[in-house]
């Protein structure tokens, strides 16, 4: 019986692999994998997405189609299901409904004052729409974690007292407590802001834009390539035709398929254990101390690396899932002992090595792990030929190089 079950599993895996390989070959021949956003390395860059969305929403955007795409965006907001839109008594509903698209302007990275945590004000708004009278704020989150009081500060922006805030994330997840509250007040979803997602809202909007751009092939192609990026970021890239063929085959082998699904978490745990072993070997060879706290699928989990030299610099090397993003960089051992001149030098070296950086209260310099942007990609890389561990070693070497340069 056991041998028969093993044989069935083997047949299922072989069949699935065959279907996948066939469609991969088809994608190569058709050019489906060619994507300008990926070639330019901006497919997961938050600011690049804000610029792209802003241009689509801009009446004077480079597309040259006036307010057609903004109208479709506003229309989709108005037609959201009741459970996903602002409360029926919210004034934000009227702002969206009556927004004058033909008179609108759009601004990205709008500076709204120096950040003041005591007053809950200041910062930069990712995308700000205005028709000259009303405003709509879009807070765009691809992989970056929320900043302290971020949504609260935007609500308190003096020109936006009754302005709708759209909290845009890959999967429509809610804003963190630290983003929407302080000791005095806290924002409420559907009252002060609503959550929208790339996975559904933006994807459906772009699909509608494609439909309305059929007479403009060059614009249509840009929308199609952007749609493919959205699908990839939200793990929806599987070919529809392939999906149907796989579903048809697996539905005829449901008992075995169900058994595979039930051990999914165990498989993820084994992948993590294998990965941990690889990182431990790297750290042992380099005489580094490892703190490993990575749990399958859990955000704010990862691992930290220290050494006597890093401790003397008040630093730890850190790899961690923040929200849905896998980030790498330096974390302070003690924030109170941080030095501005030292931080500036660290950031200069970080840019020289990684081309860019972000910072937060705890992280003086970090960036996204572009080869592994989410848990799904992490599992894929870590389960194939130790690829992820080799990438980790490269990144560790880069970070240690920065640390060594700090003492030159």
Task: Express each pLDDT in 257-272 by its tens digit.
Answer: 777 777 788 888 888 9
The verdict on 99 and 176 lying in the same domain is yes
Residues 67, 65: Cα–Cα separation, whole Å: 6
The verdict on 18 and 84 lying in the same domain is no
The position carrying tokens 């993003």 is 325
Count CB atoms within 10 A of the CB of residue 405: 14
Residue 250 has pLDDT above 90, yes or no: no
Of 206, 223, 251, which residue sits at a domain end?
251
The verdict on 208 and 281 lying in the same domain is no
The verdict on 339 and 283 lying in the same domain is yes
The verdict on 93 and 222 lying in the same domain is yes
Name the more confident of 217 and 44. 217
The verdict on 87 and 205 lying in the same domain is yes
The verdict on 212 and 198 lying in the same domain is yes
Domain that holds residue 194: 38-233
CA 103 to chain CA centroid, Å, is: 32
The verdict on 243 and 355 lying in the same domain is no
Residues 139, 127: Cα–Cα separation, whole Å: 7
What total of structural domains would you count in the chain?
3
The verdict on 82 and 219 lying in the same domain is yes
The verdict on 390 and 244 lying in the same domain is no
Of 189, 223, 251, which residue sits at a domain end?
251
**Is 256 within the bounds of a domain?**
no
pLDDT in tens, 326-366: 889 999 998 777 788 899 999 999 999 988 888 888 899 99
Which residues does 128 contact at the CB level (< 8 Å), separation at least 6? Answer: 106, 107, 108, 110, 135, 136, 137, 138
Residue 201 has pLDDT above 90, yes or no: yes
The 8-class DSSP code of residue 407 comes to: T
Of 251, 278, 308, which residue sits at a domain end?
251
The verdict on 390 and 247 lying in the same domain is no
pLDDT in tens, 43-90: 667 788 889 999 999 999 999 999 999 999 999 999 998 888 898 888
The position carrying tokens 């992820």 is 388
Q: Which residues of 145-161 are buried (b: 16+ CB within 10 A; e: fewer)?
A: bbbbbbbbbbbbbeebe
């Amino acid at each position: 019986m056991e041998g028969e079950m093993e044989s069935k599993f083997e047949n299922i895996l072989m069949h699935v692999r065959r279907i996948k390989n066939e469609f991969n070959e088809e994608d190569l021949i058709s050019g489906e994998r060619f994507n300008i956003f990926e070639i330019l390395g901006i497919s997961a860059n938050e600011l690049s997405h804000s610029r792209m969305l802003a241009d689509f929403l801009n009446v004077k955007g480079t597309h040259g189609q006036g307010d057609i795409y903004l109208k479709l965006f506003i229309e989709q907001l108005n037609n959201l299901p009741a459970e996903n839109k602002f409360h029926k008594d919210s004034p934000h509903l009227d702002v969206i409904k009556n927004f004058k698209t033909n008179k609108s302007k759009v601004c990205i990275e709008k500076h709204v004052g120096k950040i003041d945590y005591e007053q809950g004000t200041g910062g930069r708004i990712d995308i700000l729409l205005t028709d000259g009278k009303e405003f709509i704020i879009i807070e765009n989150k691809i992989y970056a974690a929320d900043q302290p009081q971020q949504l609260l500060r935007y609500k308190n922006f003096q020109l936006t007292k009754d302005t709708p805030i759209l909290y845009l994330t890959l999967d429509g997840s809610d804003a963190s407590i630290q983003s929407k509250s302080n000791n005095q007040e806290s924002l409420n979803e559907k009252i002060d802001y609503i959550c929208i997602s790339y996975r559904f809202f933006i994807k459906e909007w772009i699909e509608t834009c494609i439909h309305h751009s059929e007479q403009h092939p060059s614009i249509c192609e840009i929308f199609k390539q952007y749609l493919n990026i959205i699908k990839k970021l939200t793990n929806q890239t599987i070919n529809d035709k392939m999906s149907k063929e796989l579903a048809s085959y697996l539905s005829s082998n449901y008992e075995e398929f169900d058994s595979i699904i039930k051990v999914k978490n165990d498989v993820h745990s084994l992948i993590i254990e294998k990965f941990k072993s690889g990182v431990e070997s790297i750290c042992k060879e380099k005489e580094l101390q490892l703190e490993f706290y990575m749990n399958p699928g859990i955000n704010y989990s990862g691992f930290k690396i220290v050494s006597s030299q890093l401790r003397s610099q008040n630093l730890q090397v850190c790899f961690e899932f923040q929200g849905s993003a896998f980030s790498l960089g330096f974390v302070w051992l003690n924030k109170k002992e941080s030095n501005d001149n030292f931080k500036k030098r660290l950031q200069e070296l970080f840019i020289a090595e990684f081309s860019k950086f972000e910072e937060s209260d705890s992280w003086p310099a970090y960036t996204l792990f572009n080869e592994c942007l989410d848990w799904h990609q992490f599992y894929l890389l870590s389960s194939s030929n130790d690829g992820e561990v080799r990438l980790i070693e490269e990144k560790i070497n880069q970070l240690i190089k920065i640390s060594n340069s700090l003492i030159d």
